[in-house]
Structure 1
Amino acid sequence: MAKQQPTGFVLVHGGRHGGWAWRDVASRLRDLGYPTYRPTLTGLGERAHLLRSEIGLETHINDLVGVFEYEDLSDVVLVAHSYGGMPVAGAMQQVFDRVRTVVWVDAHLPREGESVFDLIGDERAAQMKAMAAEGGEGWYVPTSDASWWGLSDPDQIAWVNSKTTPQPIKTYLDKIGPTDRAWSHPGTTIECNPSRLPAVEVARQRARAESDPHFHRRVIAACHEPMLTHPDELTELLVEAIENR
């Protein structure tokens, strides 16, 4: 009889980040014996040379589906951070049967027909559109100083600033297709305190955790980048989520 593979993790980064953001958490999970993947979405991170205006949300959804298909993944804990919740929610329509549970780390959890700009509200959406117009040739959102995400250590800020890359605004404008698989699947939200999600979105996820026995809420006393500032604590919460199914 073939030996059963241990549960694996797929760690999906947030906007203008890359797989690099999960480096410390991934190394900890691997040290614990869990196969771990940290893909970088098209046009970002080490794939920044592929940046182009037509990259949209569907491109990033296909990126994730491809990881599952080409790595032959199953029984996976699928982890989304921030913007990563958008492609994860879309990819779940195709890979739900290969996913043990989903963990949303201060991540968007959209309903069908919603875009990132719908979720973050008119004021923040207008700011990002202005950033694209002023510094992104109208089609990409330039990088922000890492302190915007709550980082305070100067060395860490400098390191993150050296890694973040622009992102096509189309990925924030595109409205997602069906997401019912994401909403019906066992899951956990890890809410950062302070969170970078809009209060209304945090409230919606809390309401789900209170009403759905297959959905759990955890809180971590960290900024929006806990994989960078609190990798030990976040790793512990991710391992805990394995049993949520």
Structure 2
Amino acid sequence: MTEYVLVAGAWLGAWAWDDVVPELRAAGQGAHAVTLSGVADKQGVPAGQKTHVQDIVDEVERLGLRDVVLVGHSYSGIPVGQAAERIGDRLKRVVFVDSNVPADGESFVSRWWQGPAALEAVIAANDGYWPPLTAPECEGQGLDDAQVARIVGGATPHPGASLSEPAVVSRPPGELPATYIKCLLDGPEPTDDVAELLRGENWRLREMDTGHWPMFSRPGELARILLEEARG
């Protein structure tokens, strides 16, 4: 049995996978959604990015999981990619869902598409947190009004320290058995760093004709892809 460990991106907790987990379990697989420290029901817990790596590793070890597929969405690709190194032979595959990928010495902030200063200013202006999404920021992502309301209503401020703390990567990410899921409404092409990794023999590309939050907009399709990728 494959054991899926699912980690949502910034602002979101384990609840973000509520429509995906039942699909995986109905297929006879294990599914475990993780809430990272500092968000959702863990608000108020101090959290840097290393804390988030440990959150993921602790879940795998606490449950004694093997044949693990780690799934990281958006920001969470950074701690998930590092956790993949840490869990050793427990790992079966990593799936990055429209996500960032870790690079040694780089942080989420340092690779922010508008430049680090832009995101640093937002975090500084909000007491060290990245304020949660608003409905207009979800437009054009294949979401209906109810799905937008779920995301916006459940989102909580994200601890800025986890975004600014650099990744520590000892194993080149290209050596990981990995799948990258590109959500086309959020941009038709992977970022340059991901494109480079996809040229290697260990990485595969899947595409979804939806936006950045497929666990809300296309949960059944996302679950199907996750099941297919675990089979090799």
Instruction: Work out whether the TM-score is over 0.5.
Output: yes
Aligned to 2:104: 112
Aligned to 2:41: 46
Aligned to 2:156: 165
Matched ranges for 1:117-132 at <5 A: 117-121=109-113, 123=114, 125-132=116-123
Give distance in 1, aligned partners of 2:150 and 2:70: 26
Give distance in 1, aligned partners of 2:148 and 2:168: 35
Give distance in 2, aligned partners of 1:165 and 1:106: 20
Is the aligned partner of 1:188 residue 2:179? yes
**Alignment check: 8 A CA contact 2:65 2:90 kept:** yes
Aligned to 2:73: 81
The CA deviation at 1:88 is 0.8
**Alignment check: 8 A CA contact 1:89 1:179 kept:** no
The CA deviation at 1:226 is 0.6
Give distance in 1, aligned partners of 2:53 and 2:187: 23
Give distance in 2, aligned partners of 1:36 and 1:14: 17
The CA deviation at 1:144 is 1.8
Give distance in 1, aligned partners of 2:187 and 2:61: 32
> Identity of aligned pairs, percent?
31
Partner amino acid, structure 1, of 2:181: I
Q: Number of paired residues?
A: 230
TM-score normalised according to structure 1 size? 0.87
Q: Find runs of 4+ consecutive structure 1 residues off by over 4 angstroms.
A: none
Question: Are the structure 2 counterparts of residues 193 and 180 from structure 1 closer, same or farther at C-alpha, using a change threshold of 3 Å?
Answer: same
Partner of residue 70 from structure 1, selected from 62, 65, 68: 62
Is the aligned partner of 1:12 residue 2:1? no
Partner amino acid, structure 1, of 2:81: A
Question: Are the structure 2 counterparts of residues 31 and 234 from structure 1 closer, same or farther at C-alpha, using a change threshold of 3 Å?
Answer: same
Aligned to 1:35: 30
The CA deviation at 1:181 is 5.8
Aligned to 1:3: none
Is the aligned partner of 1:220 residue 2:208? yes
**Alignment check: 8 A CA contact 1:65 1:91 kept:** yes
Range that drifts further, 99-108 or 155-164: 155-164
Question: Are the structure 2 counterparts of residues 229 and 124 from structure 1 closer, same or farther at C-alpha, using a change threshold of 3 Å?
Answer: farther
Matched residue of 1:78: which SS?
A: strand
Give distance in 2, aligned partners of 1:120 and 1:151: 23
Partner amino acid, structure 2, of 1:74: R
Aligned to 2:90: 98
- The alignment yields a C-alpha RMSD, in angstroms, of 1.9
Structure 1: runs of 5 or more not aligned: 1-5
Partner amino acid, structure 2, of 1:153: D
Partner amino acid, structure 2, of 1:205: V
Aligned to 2:21: 26
Aligned to 2:169: 178
Partner amino acid, structure 2, of 1:115: S
Structure 2: runs of 5 or more not aligned: none
**Alignment check: 8 A CA contact 2:70 2:84 kept:** no
Matched residue of 1:194: which SS?
A: helix
The CA deviation at 1:225 is 0.3
**Alignment check: 8 A CA contact 2:56 2:80 kept:** yes
Partner amino acid, structure 1, of 2:24: L
The CA deviation at 1:169 is 0.8
**Alignment check: 8 A CA contact 2:143 2:217 kept:** no
Superimposed CA distance per residue, residues 34-69 of structure 1 (whole angstroms, 9 cap, x where no aligned partner): 110001001111112x344xx200111110110111
Give distance in 2, aligned partners of 1:147 and 1:124: 22
